[in-house]
Structure formats: structure tokens, C-alpha cells
């Protein structure tokens, strides 16, 4: 599948595929409202639109990502609204039946990357949780009753930390998918740093990707 991806926009990889598969298995009810956070090229948002969602909104902080996602959706005739902004800021006060997210999660020492740098697409802070912790706090209030949140990230960032953070916001959360993946170029280049931090074993060159599903278990009240 041809995807428009300008320089500095996250390339769809194994985590994208795992999240898309989890979305297919959710499944999306006809007429559902879907929000895709950190959309990148818009691949997951497009999967939601194809699955029958009534409304699909995608957000990304990157101008290039927003333009790429808009173009990719338009080329396929999919009615996706792509908004630029910091995480949930563009949709504050709205509610969605399904929220998906593939935030940057690579553990990195040092300060944040340049605003337009390529590393911005994967930089997750010292423990990989810079965006994840914000997401776990910001996404639950946007879920409609009975809504589902699907988040993908590496086990290097702490799976239980994500599960517990989402449970603290009243959601029923658990890992629903796992996949072992060889390191890509970014993690290979940072392997020595990850070893020094104790996040991987000496010589380890693979990671486990997980999808965490969090459900808002209350249901809408009938009139």
C-alpha cells in the first residue's frame, strides 16, 4: 500500500500493524466515533474509517504528519478529519467510542529533540513515558460510556505502569496483544544506551510490543 510520508513523519512499522489488528478485533460498531492520537501518516485512522466508523478524527503535533494524513485519506476517498495540536488539545470536550494511540515511546537520555527533527517521532524521554503518561491521563475523559482505548508501545517502557495508570482513571485495562520484533534502526543505534540503563540484556536486539486495551465499563443510560 502506497503511503505518502514526508521526511520527519513516523514510518508505519510493526507497532502500527499490531495496533491496526487490535482495532479490527475490537471491533468498531457501525456509527462509532473514533479518535486516532499521534496519527503520523494516518494509517490507523484510515483502518477505522474502512471499518465503518461514522466519524474519524485524527490528531498530531507535526504539521507534516497532519498534511500527510490528510493527503493519504483524500487519495482513498476516506472522510477523516485531521487536526494539528498537542495530543488531545484539538478535541477537548469531545467524546469518542474508540480511541487509538501510537505515541513516541523510545527511552532516550538528554533533552527533547529539535521541534522539526526526525527524532521527534520516537523520542519518549528518559524512561520512554513522556507521552505515555500524558496520554494515560488525557485520553480517559474523552471516552464515551462503553468506550474503548487501544494503546501500543514497547514493553521497554513498562507495561504495568500503563495498565495501572489507566485503571487509576476508572478503566478496565489489560494487555490484549503482544508481538516480538527485532530492533529497528533507531533502537539498534541506542542499544548501548539501553543496556547501560538496564532496560535490555547485554546483546539483546529485540523488543516486545504490546497493545493495552482499556474499557470504560459503564454504559449509556436509556431515557
- What is the third-level CATH fold of 14-216? Rossmann fold (3.40.50)
pLDDT tens per residue across all 223 residues of the chain:
789 999 989 999 999 999 999 999 988 888 899 999 999 999 999 999 999 899 999 999 999 999 999 999 999 999 999 999 999 999 999 999 999 999 999 998 876 665 666 677 888 988 999 999 999 999 999 999 999 999 999 999 999 999 999 999 999 999 999 999 999 888 998 899 999 989 999 999 999 999 999 999 986 554 4
Instruction: Report domain extents, the chain.
Output: 14-216
What's the chain's length in residues? 223
- Longest CA–CA span in the chain (Å) reads 60
As given in the structure block, the three cell numbers for residue 102 are: 501510537
User: Which residues is 106 bridged to in the sheet?
Assistant: 123
Long-range contacts of 67-71 (CB under 8 A, 24+ apart): 67/6, 68/4, 68/5, 68/6, 68/9, 68/40, 68/41, 68/42, 69/39, 69/40, 69/41, 69/42, 69/45, 70/42, 71/4
Amino acid at each position: 500500500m502506497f503511503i505518502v510520508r514526508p521526511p520527519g513523519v513516523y514510518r508505519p512499522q510493526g507497532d502500527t500493524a499490531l495496533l491496526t489488528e487490535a482495532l479490527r478485533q475490537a471491533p468498531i460498531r457501525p456509527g462509532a466515533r473514533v479518535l486516532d492520537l499521534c496519527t503520523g501518516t494516518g494509517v490507523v485512522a484510515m483502518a477505522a474509517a474502512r471499518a465503518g466508523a461514522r466519524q474519524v478524527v485524527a490528531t498530531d503535533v507535526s504539521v507534516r504528519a497532519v498534511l500527510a494524513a490528510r493527503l493519504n485519506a483524500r487519495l482513498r476517498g476516506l472522510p477523516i478529519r485531521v487536526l494539528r495540536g498537542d495530543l488531545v488539545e484539538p478535541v477537548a470536550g469531545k467524546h469518542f467510542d474508540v480511541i487509538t494511540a501510537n505515541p513516541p515511546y523510545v527511552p532516550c537520555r538528554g533533552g527533547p529533540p529539535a521541534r522539526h527533527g526526525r527524532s521527534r517521532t520516537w523520542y519518549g524521554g528518559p524512561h520512554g513515558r513522556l507521552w505515555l503518561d500524558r496520554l494515560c491521563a488525557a485520553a480517559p475523559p474523552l471516552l464515551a460510556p462503553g468506550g474503548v482505548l487501544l494503546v501500543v508501545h514497547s514493553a521497554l517502557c513498562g507495561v504495568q505502569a500503563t495498565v495501572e495508570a489507566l485503571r487509576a482513571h476508572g478503566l478496565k485495562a489489560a494487555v490484549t496483544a503482544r508481538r516480538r520484533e527485532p530492533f529497528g534502526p533507531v533502537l539498534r543505534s541506542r542499544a548501548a544506551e539501553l543496556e547501560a540503563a538496564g532496560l535490555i540484556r547485554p546483546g539483546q536486539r529485540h523488543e516486545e510490543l504490546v497493545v493495552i486495551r482499556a474499557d470504560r465499563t459503564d454504559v449509556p443510560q436509556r431515557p
